[in-house]
């Protein structure tokens, strides 16, 4: 064969190969950041920021208000980029109703920072209530938002407070790059498929199906995937927001918060450049993806296979969908659900609770999630990411399943009715969903968390 290959054709073939390699390298540099960029991103993720930090070219560095001094301080369980413990929880708030008479600059949610560079800047839950006060009375009747009077009788000022406070647990970031590449259409067609299947079942007289959640449609028309409420569709945007919100590092995507005002400081100079944000986001996107690790023995593997089958047959997989688009083994449908049981005594005027109380949530005109709605969290890596649920209140997988009520109540009941062996099989399956083995370990033990905000759930 080689005999027939002329010098000219060798040259042509060489040129073809070179073009192919150049083309490949071109694509590679578009999609795979250089090792230098990744190293810069890793340094930024692990860097302990200080006020007027040298890495902040023109801004004021850490703060003035913040929740942590580095990304790794909260994202460390299971390696750099991992989950956080409950002591790392972040206090966030949202408004149940558009407040009457407040010009809250359209903000419906925010963060109550746990730390500040100066004592005067420290924030508290009481301050959020002061900024978004209880509703006023019009003609002797209390008015909630721009809608109607509560129907359940006497409303106390507490019931009328628009602010709801959550304690939010830190998720692991492994696989975030894969999640970033899920198309909106992948989520929407999954939702459509479930709707049709449900309709078909109902036609056949089967009403036991799991309700289909709703996609979080963002102001930009995209579907939210990141955050416990699916509040962002893009990893780059979430990373930039984390810089501003968690560390007080302004950037071109999101400015840091103004202490005690619960709004952005629009005049703050940028602490981070676009290149720094890109490097940090590239590092997060390149974190290894969680993996399924099967046990050694044949009988243990059989239990796992049985557990995986039960995970489907009891209905867990309806919401914790194994694969969405290119995200194989993600175990989430990225849709919003209400899976919390109503607080005990709800409807009886349980006054003062942030989440419950007699005031029914109004359907918001946009698709903003209700206070009770949370995105199905991906279960990849779940064996290594305790504590569980958005607020970290479930310390074990068993407690996490028990915490499913509301739209997941039927599925929880089916799980409860399994035999002890079958339940063990489900846990055996969940315990194969592990964080990546090759995750980088934090250089130093993470710094102790700062002040923890105390508030009632
Ligand atoms: C004080 C603790 C804390 C610090 C510091 C922190 N995070 Fe987070 N992170 C959280 C919490 C809590 C959430 C969940 C927020 C939510 O869903 O509302 C989160 C969520 C995220 C997510 C979304 C993950 C997903 O799958 O939905 C990304 C990305 C992220 N953080 C990146 C970062 C980066 C980058 C930094 C450093 C600039 C950082 N975080 C610093 C606590 C922290
Ligand atoms: C109707 C949809 C739905 C069904 C069905 C469902 N889940 Fe969930 N699951 C959720 C939502 C939503 C959350 C988060 C709720 C929160 O944080 O308040 C969640 C949270 C979890 C968590 C905690 C994950 C973490 O990272 O904190 C685990 C574990 C879990 N589910 C396992 C299961 C198992 C096992 C089943 C079946 C027995 C199941 N789920 C059925 C929607 C569902």
Picking from 294, 381, 284, the residue whose alpha carbon sits closest to that of residue 329 is 381
- Cβ–ligand 1 contact at 176 (below 6 Å): yes
CA–centroid distance for 330 within its chain: 14
How many angstroms separate the first and last alpha carbons of the chain?
77
Comparing 8-17, 81-90, 160-169, 428-437, the range with the smallest average pLDDT is 8-17
Q: Are 328 and 186 in contact (CB under 8 A)?
A: no
Q: Are 44 and 414 in contact (CB under 8 A)?
A: no
Instruction: Ligand 2, residue 228: give the atom nearest the CA.
Output: 17
Comparing 260-264, 329-333, 376-380, 431-435, the range with the smallest average pLDDT is 260-264
Ligand number with the minimum distance to the CA of 340: 2
Residue in the structure block whose two tokens are 């997941």:
408
Neighbours of 276 (CB within 10 A): 22
- Cβ–ligand 2 contact at 374 (below 6 Å): yes
Ligand 2 centroid to Cα of residue 159, in Å, is: 29
* Residue that wins the pLDDT comparison between 182 and 31: 182
Comparing 29-33, 274-278, 444-448, the range with the smallest average pLDDT is 444-448
- Cβ–ligand 2 contact at 356 (below 6 Å): no
Ligand 1 centroid to Cα of residue 242, in Å, is: 6
CA 332, CA 343: separation in Å to the nearest integer? Answer: 26
Ligand 1 centroid to Cα of residue 63, in Å, is: 16
- Cβ–ligand 1 contact at 239 (below 6 Å): yes
pLDDT in tens, 28-77: 445 689 999 999 999 999 999 999 999 998 999 999 999 999 999 999 99
CA 334, CA 323: separation in Å to the nearest integer? Answer: 11
CA 332, CA 439: separation in Å to the nearest integer? Answer: 22
pLDDT the model gives residue 132:
86
Q: Is the pLDDT of residue 297 over 90?
A: yes
Picking from 289, 283, 285, 277, the residue whose alpha carbon sits closest to that of residue 59 is 277
Q: Is the pLDDT of residue 153 over 60?
A: no
Q: Is the pLDDT of residue 119 over 50?
A: yes
Max mean pLDDT range (116-125, 199-208, 353-362): 116-125
- Cβ–ligand 1 contact at 234 (below 6 Å): no
As a whole number, the mean pLDDT across the chain is: 84
Neighbours of 147 (CB within 10 A): 11
Domain segments of the chain: what residues?
33-174+234-289+438-457, 183-224+296-343+363-435
pTM attached to this predicted model: 0.87
Ligand number with the minimum distance to the CA of 110: 1
Split at pLDDT 50, 70, 90, the class of 161 is confident
Ligand number with the minimum distance to the CA of 417: 2
- The CATH number of 183-224+296-343+363-435, from 1.25.40, 1.10.10, 1.10.760, 2.70.98, is 1.10.760
Ligand 1 centroid to Cα of residue 385, in Å, is: 14
Output the six-digit token pair for 374. Answer: 């949370």
Residue in the structure block whose two tokens are 């009770």:
372
Ligand 2 centroid to Cα of residue 192, in Å, is: 20
Split at pLDDT 50, 70, 90, the class of 21 is very low
pLDDT in tens, 201-226: 999 988 888 999 999 999 899 999 99
- Cβ–ligand 1 contact at 72 (below 6 Å): no
Q: Are 244 and 250 in contact (CB under 8 A)?
A: yes
Ligand number with the minimum distance to the CA of 385: 2
pLDDT the model gives residue 137:
56
- Cβ–ligand 2 contact at 254 (below 6 Å): no
Residue in the structure block whose two tokens are 């199905």:
376
Mean pLDDT score, 333-338:
97
Q: Which of 319, 373, 424, 431 for a ligand 2 pocket mutation test, highest count of atoms within 8 Å of Cβ?
A: 319
Split at pLDDT 50, 70, 90, the class of 26 is very low
């Amino acid at each position: 064969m080689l005999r027939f290959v002329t010098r000219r054709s060798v040259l042509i073939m060489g040129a073809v190969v070179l073009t192919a390699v150049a083309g490949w390298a071109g694509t590679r540099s578009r999609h795979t950041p250089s090792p230098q960029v990744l190293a810069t991103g890793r340094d930024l993720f692990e860097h302990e920021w200080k006020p007027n930090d040298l890495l902040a070219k023109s801004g004021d560095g850490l703060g003035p208000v913040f929740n942590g001094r580095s990304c790794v301080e909260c994202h460390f369980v299971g390696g750099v980029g991992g989950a956080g413990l409950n002591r790392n929880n972040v206090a966030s708030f949202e408004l149940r109703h558009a407040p009457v008479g407040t010009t809250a600059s359209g903000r419906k949610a925010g963060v109550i920072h746990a730390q500040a560079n100066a004592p005067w800047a420290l924030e508290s839950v009481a301050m959020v209530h002061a900024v978004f006060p209880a509703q006023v009375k019009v003609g002797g009747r209390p008015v909630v938002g721009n809608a109607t009077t509560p129907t359940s009788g006497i409303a106390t000022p507490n019931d009328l407070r628009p602010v709801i406070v959550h304690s939010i647990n830190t998720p692991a970031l492994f696989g975030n790059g894969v999640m970033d590449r899920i198309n909106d259409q992948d989520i929407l067609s999954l939702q459509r498929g479930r709707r049709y299947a449900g309709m078909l079942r109902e036609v056949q007289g089967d009403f036991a199906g799991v309700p289909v959640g709703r996609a979080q449609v963002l102001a930009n028309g995209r579907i939210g995937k990141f955050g416990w409420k699916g509040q962002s569709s893009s990893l780059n945007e979430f990373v930039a927001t984390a810089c501003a919100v968690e560390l007080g590092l302004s950037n071109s995507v999101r400015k840091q918060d103004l202490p005690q005002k619960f709004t952005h400081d629009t005049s703050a100079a940028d602490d981070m450049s676009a290149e720094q944000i890109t490097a940090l986001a590239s590092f997060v996107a390149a974190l290894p993806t969680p993996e399924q690790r099967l046990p050694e023995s044949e009988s243990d593997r059989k239990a796992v296979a049985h557990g995986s089958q039960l995970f489907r047959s009891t209905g867990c997989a309806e919401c914790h969908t194994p694969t969405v688009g290119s995200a194989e083994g993600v175990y989430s449908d990225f849709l919003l659900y209400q899976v919390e049981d109503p607080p005990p005594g709800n409807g009886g005027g349980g006054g003062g609770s942030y989440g419950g109380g007699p005031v029914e949530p109004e359907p918001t005109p946009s698709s903003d999630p209700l206070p009770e709605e949370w995105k199905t969290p991906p279960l990849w890596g779940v064996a290594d990411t305790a504590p569980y649920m958005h607020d970290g209140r479930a310390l074990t997988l068993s407690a996490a399943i028990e915490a499913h009520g509301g739209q997941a109540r039927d599925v929880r009941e089916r799980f409860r009715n399994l035999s002890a062996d079958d339940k063990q099989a489900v846990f055996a399956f969940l315990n194969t969903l592990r964080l990546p083995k090759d995750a980088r370990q934090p250089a130093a033990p993470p710094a102790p968390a700062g002040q923890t905000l105390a508030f009632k759930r």
